[in-house]
Structure 1
Amino acid sequence: MNRRTFLHTTLAAGTLASLQIRGADKIGRKHRTALVGAGWWGGNILGEAMASGACEIVGICDVDQRQLDPTVEKVVKLSGDQPRKYRDFRELLAKEKPEVVIVATPDHWHALPTIAAVKAGAHVYVEKPTAHTIGESQAMVKAARTHQRVVQVGTHRRLAPHLIRARDFIRAGKAGQIGLIRCHLNLTGGGPEQALPTVPVPPELDWDFWCGPAPLRPFNGGDPRQPDQGAGNRGIHPRGHRMYLDYANGHLGDIGVHWFDQVLWITGEKAPRRVACTGGRPIKGAPILTAREQTSDAPDHQVAQFAFEQFTMTWEARTFGGNHAEKGEAAGTYFHGTKGTVHLGHKGGWRFYANEGGEPTFDAAQLNQPDAQSIRESWADFLDAIKTGRRPVSDIEEAHRSSVCSLLGMISYKVGRSVEWDAAKEQIVGDPAANQLLRREYRKGWEYPVG
């Protein structure tokens, strides 16, 4: 495969090539750049880093050789860079001394590499949510500020041109005073979840390191080199970790954080006062975890309510009955105001439904491929923040607040009651048991971060 074909098939050639030229003209010397987590989404981010023309890829780290090798091969074909391979991010940081680090690991591995990288002097682009627990996320903010590094989080919808226009529309008061914001996710599927058998760990995968500070569960995954079969009943690795609560926080921590981030970004609110979340697994069935087989343990539906000073935000998600009843999209956000309703879709743009009726105002989505995202704009903002010394649009502190919404929802779900949040102290009020869930014990050999 030649360079032009590779760009066209994996990185949307035309626009990315022009970005590469512009980036090279503006930057001159390239940033020494490394990737930690060479899976699907890490590849998307790395593609934009290379296309910017501002980055020399010097190292790639992954505990699964089946992801590491193909990613390195693609970098060599596309850019001519010769990144070295690593299985331990600490060795990568020590030997390569990168100036920019991309962290695109599962959630439970966001905090430690990010903190280590900023302490080593690198700027970081880390995927959302910021962390698996609120305490880890707090430590990430502290580290970024202490070491004065730029940390951009992958809440890239803040940079989508059509969503910026939606924000401006709402902020201008054209929907009136916003009193209720509804976020939803409705996916296809249904029926009991079938337990997957424990299988031998592939020789190319360091499963103990993959689990890292989280509990060591039996391996039930597949081969990342095989075509993806969808999210219905994946093993933990690759791409199934989000539904296993030892490593992520279900759909609330995956998709929910995108929608909550939009709400905070548009409204200017910082944190909810109270959070209540309920849900369960009546469709998927009770979780199974034995030495021989296991299922996921994330809920198959959740309903959460977030009380802010000026409005109420709700989250409703289900993994069954995905019939596109909500304006034809599986995910979206509704801003209900005194003059009408603004619907922000996932991939289909946004609409304003005025109280007076008539045809809704429509603004088409402006998203990039692959995977309908705005990483291109987010990466450009990240580089500009490094160049100018300003904070990026999806700064770690902003994304921390959005992640806190998701993580508080999961805490409420786990303890079975609402929780009151003191945003100034970043503590749960009057509930010691819930407060303990702001952190968790790490597995032996790993130390919980303090920033």
Structure 2
Amino acid sequence: MNRSEFIKTLAAGALISRPFLVHAHKTTYTLALIGSGWWGTNILREALKHGGCRLVALCDVDRNQVQKCYEEVRKISSFNPKIYTDYEELLQKEKPDIVINATPDHWHALIAIAALKSGSHLYLEKPIGHTIAEGQAICKAVADSGKVCTVGFHRRFSPHNVSGMNFLKSGKVGVIKEVRAFVHYNYWPGNPSPEQAIPEGLDWDKWCGPAPLVPYMKSIHPRGWRQRMEFANGQLGDWGPHWFDQILWWTEEIGPKSIHSLASKKIKNDDQNSPESQVVLYEFEEFNCIWEHSNLNGRGQSKTENVGVYFHGTEGTFHMGWMNGWTFYPKDSKSTVIHEDAQLNQPDSQNIDLVWNDFMQSIENKKTPFADIIKGHRATNMSLLGVAALNAGKTLHWDPVKETLGSTDDKLLRRDYRKGYTFPK
């Protein structure tokens, strides 16, 4: 290697090793983030690393939250995005090419549909909506707009999930008739908190939006809203779509035909109102699926981690996990257990970068993303059908093609919005 080549190599190494810095003049698409909390910032960080976008705006009804996100942006890029508290104003003034919707669940539908109608491609966090009817309206808006919409199913892209799915579909697990998805945590958020003064910089009325206006409590915002049924659907609505997506990826069926659910009576004295412990039985044509979650017991006796899916086959049991990768336990105890570790990014052990890369390629090539809105809708439906069955107190019968429970039960597919907000069609 001569001296000039050595200098070029040294310079290239320096560029690779230093912290990344995004420069606006190298970008192609204008980008806006709506919902700038913990997870929205994670998505945005990976989007900026990609380098194909110019960040023009951040939007949040909580100025404290959006300020933290803005400071993170300034650390890792040269962008100086405008800050909005009203997403409609943002869409009208900035007309971004791409919108990331990382708001709480109860805001997903209205913002997603508005972004699509304004001409934006959409990165939508899961679950895609708070009710099944919202999901149906979002799917219609995607189809009508002709825009690319991807769902944040980073577990669909994780290397061990991809290889694990190939292993499952190879037939090595045998005939699978029983699938069990689970999330087991043993935690307690603390004693009930009294109604508190709304923090300066937070528009609580707008934060509640189409959901009921409840008293402000720190246990709800930030992050605690996932266990409040006004704004989300508990563990089933939060974790369920990820694992149901894995199940629907494996099977050729698009949804269950019947759903029944039971939950334990609440025993912890806290601010949460979602089921602490719930079981849902989904009957498919070719197999049965059981969902179970518990906030009461972490299942310390389990060989695997406390989240994932067990595929029980005639040749053994396959565990599709998260941080521990996947493992196959052969029926023959003398056979070797097969395992593959996970490859995850930090913070928060995710593979958002792979979702974003596919999203950008889908926009460039005008193709359907691997985590498209229909996949997101069907996985979300399974979660919400479990919620509906629990609320109904009976077995529900679902037509996965027509997406109906029948005339008497279809009221379970939606909920009324608060006065001043219109349910999407």
Between the aligned partners of 2:291 and 2:232, the Cα distance in structure 1 is: 18
Q: Map residues 323-338 of structure 1 onto 2, 5 A cutoff.
A: 323-338=299-314
TM-score (norm 1): 0.87
Matched with 2:146 is: 148
Structure 1, unmatched stretches of 5+, are 1-12, 222-234, 286-293
CA distance in structure 1 between the aligned counterparts of 2:29 and 2:19, rounded to whole angstroms: 18
Structure 1 position 366, deviation (Å): 1.2
Deviation, structure 1 residue 71? 1.1
> Could you tell me how far 1:329 is from its partner in structure 2?
1.2
Q: Flag structure 2 segments of 5+ consecutive residues without an equivalent.
A: 1-14
Q: Deviations over 1:147-198 (max 9, x none)?
A: 01111111110001111001111111111111111111111136x9632100
| 1:176-195 correspondence to structure 2 within 5 Å | 176-189=174-187, 194-195=191-192
Tell me by how many angstroms 1:343 deviates: 0.6
Distance 1:17 1:397, change over 3 A: farther
Map 1:350-429 → 2, pairs under 5 A: 350-357=326-333, 358-429=335-406
Alignment of 1:49-448 (within 5 A): 49-189=47-187, 194-221=191-218, 235-284=219-268, 295-357=271-333, 358-429=335-406, 432=408, 434-448=409-423
State the alpha-carbon separation in 2 of the partners of residues 44 and 14 from structure 1.
21
Distance 2:309 2:113 in 1: 32
Instruction: Write the distance in 2 (CA, Å) between the matches of 1:138 and 1:342.
Output: 33
Deviation, 1:81, is 0.6
- Once the 2 structures are TM-superposed, how far is the Cα of residue 446 of structure 1 from its aligned partner? 0.8
Q: In structure 2, give the amino acid aligned to 1:296.
A: Q
Residues 422, 15 of structure 1: CA spacing in aligned structure 2 closer, same or farther, 3 A cutoff?
Answer: farther
Q: 1:15 to 1:93 in 2, by over 3 A?
A: farther
SS of the residue corresponding to residue 259 of structure 2 reads strand
Shift of 1:15: 9.4
CA drift of 1:346 comes to: 2.0
**Aligned 8 A contact 1:186 1:324 in 2:** no
Distance in structure 1 (CA, Å) of the matches to 2:182 and 2:318: 14
* Corresponding letter in the other structure for 2:332: E
**C-alpha distance after superposition, 1:276-298 (max 9, x if no partner):** 1110333225xxxxxxxx82210
CA contact (8 A) 1:253 1:403 kept: yes
Give distance in 1, aligned partners of 2:17 and 2:315. 38
**Secondary structure at 2:398's aligned position in 1?**
strand
Which protein is bigger by CA-based radius of gyration? 2
Instruction: Give the secondary-structure state (helix, strand or coil) at the position aligned to 2:96.
Output: coil
> Aligned equivalents of 2:345 and 2:89: distance in 1?
34
- Contact 1:256–1:406 at 8 Å: present in 2 too? yes
Give the aligned length: 410
* Closer/same/farther in 2, CA of residues 348 and 102 from structure 1, 3 Å limit: same
CA distance in 1, matches of 2:18, 2:275: 39
Change (3 A) 1:15 1:339: farther
Deviates more, 1:328-337 or 1:408-417: 328-337
Q: Distance in 1 between matches of 2:412 and 2:220?
A: 23
Counterpart residue identity of residue 371, structure 1 = D
Q: Give CA deviations for 1:116-151 in whole Å, capped at 9, x if unaligned.
A: 001111101011001000010100000001101111
- Once the two structures are TM-superposed, the CA of residue 325 in structure 1 deviates from its matched residue by 2.5
Residues 1:283 and 1:240: Cα distance change in structure 2 (over 3 Å)? same
Query: For the residues of structure 2 that align with 1:146 and 1:183, how far apart are their CA atoms?
Result: 34
Answer whether contact 2:27 2:54 (CA < 8 A) is retained.
no
Closer, same or farther: CA 441–243 of 1 in aligned 2, 3 Å: same
- Following superposition, which runs of at least 4 residues in structure 1 exceed 4 angstroms of deviation? 13-18
Q: Write the letter of the residue equivalent to 1:448.
A: F
TM-score by length of 2: 0.92
Alignment-derived partner of residue 232 in structure 1: none
> 1:288 — aligned with what?
none
Counterpart of 2:11 in structure 1 is none
- Tell me if the contact between 1:151 and 1:396 (Cα under 8 Å) persists in the aligned partners: yes
Give the direction of change, closer, same or farther, for the CA distance of 1:16–1:153 in structure 2 (3 Å limit). farther
Contact preservation (8 Å) 1:199, 1:220: yes
Over the aligned positions, Cα root-mean-square deviation in angstroms equals 2.1
What letter is aligned with 1:302? Answer: Q
Identity %: 44
Distance of aligned partners of 1:195 and 1:424 in 2 relative to their CA distance in 1, 3 Å threshold: same
One-letter amino acid matched to 1:184: F
Aligned-pair CA distance for 1:30: 1.9
Match of 2:3?
Answer: none
- With over 3 angstroms needed to count, the CA separation of the structure-2 counterparts of 1:323 and 1:172, relative to structure 1, is closer
CA–CA distance in structure 1, aligned partners of residues 89 and 158 of structure 2 = 35
CA 1:351/1:203 → structure 2, altered by over 3 Å: closer, same or farther? Answer: same
